[in-house]
Structure 1
Amino acid sequence: SQAYLSYLTTLSLPNLLAEPTLLQTQSHHLTSSLTSLTHTSYPTFLSLHSTTSSLSESLDALSTSLDALVNESLPALEESASNWRDRTDVVLAERSKARVVLEQHDKIRDLLDIPVLIDTCVRNGYFAEALSLASHTNSLYSSSSSPPLILTSIMSEVRNSITQMLFSLLSTLHGPNRKLPALWKAVNFLRKMDVFDPEDGVESEEQIALAFLGGREVCLSASLEGCNRDIQRLVGLTSAEVREKDKEDLTRYLKKYIDIWREGVHDIITQFSTIFLERPTSTTTSPAPSLHSLLVTYASHSLHKHLLPLLRITLPRIPLPSLSSLLTQLTYCATAFARVGFDFRCVLGDLFSGAVLSSVTEELQAATSKWVALFEQKMGRPVSTTSTHRKNMVPPSEWLVSPAVVASPPTSSQSYLKAPAHVPPHILTSYPPLAQYTNVLLSTLNSLRLLAPTSIALLLLAKLKELLSEAGEAFIRYVKNAAALQEQEMKIVEAVGDVYFKTFVPFMKRALGEGVYGLVIE
């Protein structure tokens, strides 16, 4: 090697010459030592050879095993480990969720109980608690940018319960016999719910007011329905079908209808004023003018829908003596409404004037028709269809005059014209048909005295003159057919005519004009 060559360069020449000999000596010595070692240690060399062979085989087997491990087992292990991780990730995720659920069990249970609690509160009328729970749920839902499904589901159930609460509050406004505290509570919760969004210029308060009026109107209509049905049934009867009891029933039903309408509308007006128009003194805001106009519009609507149309068709069918009590009832009703700004007395005059005119005219016409029919009956039957002569005519002495004065029938005098307008002339009792006619007309005028509108005085006077003329014409027709009677019969007829035209007719005009209206009748 290079070190030995360097060593040789350091030797002297004798030493360098002696170096081969020295090397040969050392070689013989090494050979001798190796030979001795071989003879003495050959078992060791055999064992070493055997061990080396075994080691080589073991190393080859190890190399093969390592190759199999690296090329086959490790990839399979890696794949198995990967598959294991994939399988356990799902389980770990589920376990993680289960652990989170277990840790948050109380909170989740509270959340899940919210819809049930709200529904229970709504069903039992605890609306404040229901709104508080709904507000809490809404804040939880709004605090998360992407709320979990469970919270979304809970929020949906809460909204359904709040919708049911809205229906419950609105049904309270539609409930019959609801008093102010219940209605006040319902309206206040509707305000707190803020479910009426302003639209088309209509504020939420106006929408709540409309809902209130609509609900109370439904209740009012339902409470009036029974009486209205009975009234319509009686009004639908014809004149021939109407009995005296039916007229009394009609009056009773109408009075009951007016009382129900008065109580219902008065409650609605006072409740609306208290809930929507009155404000605590601590607040500076005043109710919107539209709320006042809503109340005025509703009051007018209720009057023109429920009361006036029914009065127009019913009053003409009410007995004349009952009209006065009805007017008194309606006047008290209008006076009570005047305290809340709803005085409708001005519309009653025309209604009752027309009803009185119709009733009085009908009764006067009925009495006159009965008078005319009596004379037609007493004239007998015509001889032929073309002849004006009649047969079987009843003589005046048998029916037109009292038997006590047949021989000398009394006639009219100026003293009868100076008697009081409310006292019928005594001479009329001598002529029974005329006395009966007088009694019927005076009964009608006595009923009129209870309620005598001045606006129809001239109309009634004109109608009375017309009917008296019709009755006089019936008498004249009878007189013409009695021309062939005896002198005494004609004397009776002349006396009746004298009393009729000179005493009865002026008296009836005075009885109506002076006795009822205080007018001077010439």
Structure 2
Amino acid sequence: MSTAHSYATGAEREQAEAYFSDLLSYSLERLSKEPELLRADQDQLRRQAQEATKTHYRAFIAAAEGLESTRAELEAVSCHLDALAADLPALSWACDTFTQSAAQFAAKRSENKQLLKQHPVLLELLEVPQLMDACVRNGNYDDALDLRAFVAKMALLHADLKIVQQLVAEVEAASEAMLAGLMAKLRGPIQLPECLRIVGCLRRLAPFPEPELRRRFLQCREEWLAELVRELDDTNVYEYVKRLTDVHRLQLFDVVMQFRAIFSDDSSAQQTVAGASSGIGTESRDGGAVYSWAQHRLVFYLETLAGVLPRIGEGGSLASVLEHCMYCGMSLGRVGLDFRGLLVPLFEAQVLRLYANSVKAATDMFVMLLDVHKWVAMPAVAARVRQAGNTADPSTPKGDDCAGPPYALLEHAPLAVLTNGLLAAFNELRHCTPLSLCSSVAAILQEALEGAVRVMAHYRATRALEDSNLVHFEAACAAMTGSVVPYIAACFGRIYPGHGKLLDVRRATAALNAPPQVLEEGTPQPALSDTSALTSASC
């Protein structure tokens, strides 16, 4: 509107300038007539305007109405403009907020687009914990450790990301499960290659320092060995001892070799072997944890062996067990665990106890049979003895060198029983005959023979026998002193060659060779039912 007004003013100014230019060119007479001319033009224009008004009154009315409507609308627009001006600050703030939100949304959209592009990589990354767990369950520990190292590297680079922190937590949980699985494998039957692999995985996993790792390794192997021992059936003591020995021989050897191969600073170059007094390898200069553990296991083995050996009642079984144990000690000697020197006292005590029990059983049976025996002639037995004596091989040595018991003992049942019992004791002893027990065995046998002779001397002094019975009894006494005791002494000499002088035959038969009055003046003789005087030796 203001622009149209300016245009109109310019046109009028040009007309005015043109009019004034014309006035300057008029004459005076023309100038004097100019007011009347202007007044006539004005009247004419007024008449034209009136006529135009009359002719076009409707247009003027419409124009007036339009002007009024325009004025009202302009007033409304002015009100709206005022309201708009009042709301412009809020609109400006809203636009700023929208601009910021739009920028954030644009950034998120850009991130989502980038995420969409990297979706396969992110999917693989999120599957790392599940993949590691699957590797652990399938025993692929090397792959699991590679995944763990990958996540650890990522945690160093992106420690502030929550997804990385979550991955680290899940991988650590899988690492705990892997550690439990590795330790469980160490508690089972494993060979050296598998053992090396497991310990290598533990070193990469690094849950323990090196000294603690060695202790854990030995602890797991100890649990495995203890479990094997617990599973052994001790119903048959002979089989139990052999299996117990085999378990320690195999497992101790394997564990020591595994430990040497894995932890090389405990190698045999720094190890020494103890003397025969201990039989166990000493610890190495750098600690020797494996030998401390091996000593503990051998002490347990020897204590268990000492507890079950008394249950073995046969010399052959005892000799077989000794041979098995000695082989175990020799085998473990290759790794510095030769304990054979510690076996000697255990088996010596058992051999001596077994022999003493056999001798005591023989003398007890002799005393019991002597108390109830009837001293009467047995023609059938005597004829058989004479026939055996006539058909005997002349080349068979006589006296102490006779390999078999005297046939004359068949006429005297108590002496035959005593001889058989003592021979049975010798049969048990010959399977396992320690030279160090020569004196002890001789003492037990000497005491048993002296006791048997004293019992017969006491029987002769305290029993009133008829003449016929007395003849047979005296024959039995003569057989005791002339056949039984020398024969038993000869058998002892065969078991311990060169030590036959340890048995004093004269002292053993002195009680029957002495006159009866000497016996009566001496110490009181034991009753027939008193068997404790026959053998007093103990292990």
Per the TM superposition, whether the score is higher than 0.5 is yes
Once residues 339 and 278 of structure 1 are traced to their aligned partners in structure 2, the CA distance between those partners, rounded to angstroms, is 18
2:376–2:472 CA contact under 8 A, matched in 1: yes
Once residues 369 and 306 of structure 2 are traced to their aligned partners in structure 1, the CA distance between those partners, rounded to angstroms, is 34
Once residues 155 and 180 of structure 1 are traced to their aligned partners in structure 2, the CA distance between those partners, rounded to angstroms, is 33
Match of 2:145 among 105, 108, 131: 131
1:401–1:492 CA contact under 8 A, matched in 2: no
Once residues 250 and 345 of structure 1 are traced to their aligned partners in structure 2, the CA distance between those partners, rounded to angstroms, is 21
Change (3 A) 1:291 1:205: farther
Structure 1 match to 2:154: 140
Match of 1:153 among 166, 180, 183: 166
Alignment of 1:390-429 (within 5 A): 394=374, 396-397=375-376, 403=382, 419-420=400-401, 424=405, 427-429=408-410
Match of 1:109 among 118, 123, 132: 123
Deviations 1:461-502 (A, max 9, x none): 22223323333343234324532x222322332332233245
1:397–1:406 CA contact under 8 A, matched in 2: no
Once residues 401 and 349 of structure 1 are traced to their aligned partners in structure 2, the CA distance between those partners, rounded to angstroms, is 49
What secondary structure, in the 3-state scheme, does the structure 2 residue paired with 1:195 have?
coil
Structure 1: segments with no counterpart, 5+ residues: 1-18, 197-203, 234-248, 281-287, 379-393, 408-415
Once residues 357 and 308 of structure 2 are traced to their aligned partners in structure 1, the CA distance between those partners, rounded to angstroms, is 15
Change (3 A) 1:58 1:308: same
Match of 1:271 among 258, 264, 271: 258
Structure 2 match to 1:244: none
Change (3 A) 1:36 1:512: same
2:348–2:437 CA contact under 8 A, matched in 1: yes
Structure 2 match to 1:62: 74
Structure 1 match to 2:488: 508
Match of 1:213 among 202, 209, 218: 218
1:310 pairs with 2:304 = yes
Structure 1 match to 2:227: 222
Once residues 515 and 323 of structure 1 are traced to their aligned partners in structure 2, the CA distance between those partners, rounded to angstroms, is 17
2:156 is matched by which residue type in structure 1? Answer: S
What is the CA-CA distance between 1:441 and the residue it aligns to? 0.6
1:465 pairs with 2:443 = no
Change (3 A) 1:405 1:334: closer
Structure 2: segments with no counterpart, 5+ residues: 1-27, 268-282, 387-396, 505-539
2:252–2:332 CA contact under 8 A, matched in 1: no
Structure 2 match to 1:498: 478
What is the CA-CA distance between 1:260 and the residue it aligns to? 2.6
Q: Which moved more, 1:26-35 or 1:364-373?
A: 26-35
What is the CA-CA distance between 1:218 and the residue it aligns to? 2.2
Change (3 A) 1:162 1:418: same
Once residues 336 and 417 of structure 1 are traced to their aligned partners in structure 2, the CA distance between those partners, rounded to angstroms, is 47
Match of 1:40 among 48, 51, 75: 48
What secondary structure, in the 3-state scheme, does the structure 2 residue paired with 1:295 have?
helix
1:183 pairs with 2:206 = no
Once residues 66 and 312 of structure 1 are traced to their aligned partners in structure 2, the CA distance between those partners, rounded to angstroms, is 119
Once residues 186 and 192 of structure 2 are traced to their aligned partners in structure 1, the CA distance between those partners, rounded to angstroms, is 10
1:360–1:444 CA contact under 8 A, matched in 2: yes
Structure 2 match to 1:165: 178
2:385–2:408 CA contact under 8 A, matched in 1: no
* Percent identity over paired residues: 27
1:357 pairs with 2:352 = yes
2:247 is matched by which residue type in structure 1? Answer: I
Alignment of 1:211-360 (within 5 A): 211-227=216-232, 230-231=233-234, 233=235, 249-277=236-264, 293-305=288-300, 307-318=301-312, 319-360=314-355
Deviations 1:167-215 (A, max 9, x none): 2211211123x2111111111111111121xxxxxxx222222222222
Greater RCO, CA 8 A, separation 6+ = 2
Change (3 A) 1:329 1:175: same
Change (3 A) 1:400 1:144: farther
Deviations 1:488-517 (A, max 9, x none): 322332332233245533543454366426
Aligned length in residues: 443
Structure 1 match to 2:413: 432
Change (3 A) 1:169 1:295: same
What secondary structure, in the 3-state scheme, does the structure 1 residue paired with 2:400 have?
coil
1:108 is matched by which residue type in structure 2? Answer: L
Once residues 170 and 158 of structure 2 are traced to their aligned partners in structure 1, the CA distance between those partners, rounded to angstroms, is 18
Change (3 A) 1:251 1:261: same
2:440 is matched by which residue type in structure 1? Answer: L
Change (3 A) 1:250 1:398: farther
1:121 pairs with 2:126 = no
Change (3 A) 1:192 1:440: same
Deviations 1:417-455 (A, max 9, x none): 963386655654443321231122123223313322233
Once residues 125 and 213 of structure 1 are traced to their aligned partners in structure 2, the CA distance between those partners, rounded to angstroms, is 22
1:168 is matched by which residue type in structure 2? Answer: G
2:132–2:144 CA contact under 8 A, matched in 1: yes
Q: TM-score, normalised by structure 2?
A: 0.71
1:255–1:326 CA contact under 8 A, matched in 2: yes
What secondary structure, in the 3-state scheme, does the structure 1 residue paired with 2:263 have?
helix
What is the CA-CA distance between 1:58 and the residue it aligns to? 1.5
1:369 pairs with 2:369 = no
2:159–2:165 CA contact under 8 A, matched in 1: no
1:364–1:441 CA contact under 8 A, matched in 2: yes
1:461–1:509 CA contact under 8 A, matched in 2: no
What is the CA-CA distance between 1:143 and the residue it aligns to? 0.8
Once residues 144 and 384 of structure 2 are traced to their aligned partners in structure 1, the CA distance between those partners, rounded to angstroms, is 95
What is the CA-CA distance between 1:72 and the residue it aligns to? 5.5
2:128–2:147 CA contact under 8 A, matched in 1: yes
CA RMSD of aligned residues (A): 3.9
Structure 1 match to 2:278: none
Once residues 447 and 61 of structure 2 are traced to their aligned partners in structure 1, the CA distance between those partners, rounded to angstroms, is 167
1:331–1:345 CA contact under 8 A, matched in 2: yes
Change (3 A) 1:419 1:470: closer
What is the CA-CA distance between 1:256 and the residue it aligns to? 2.8
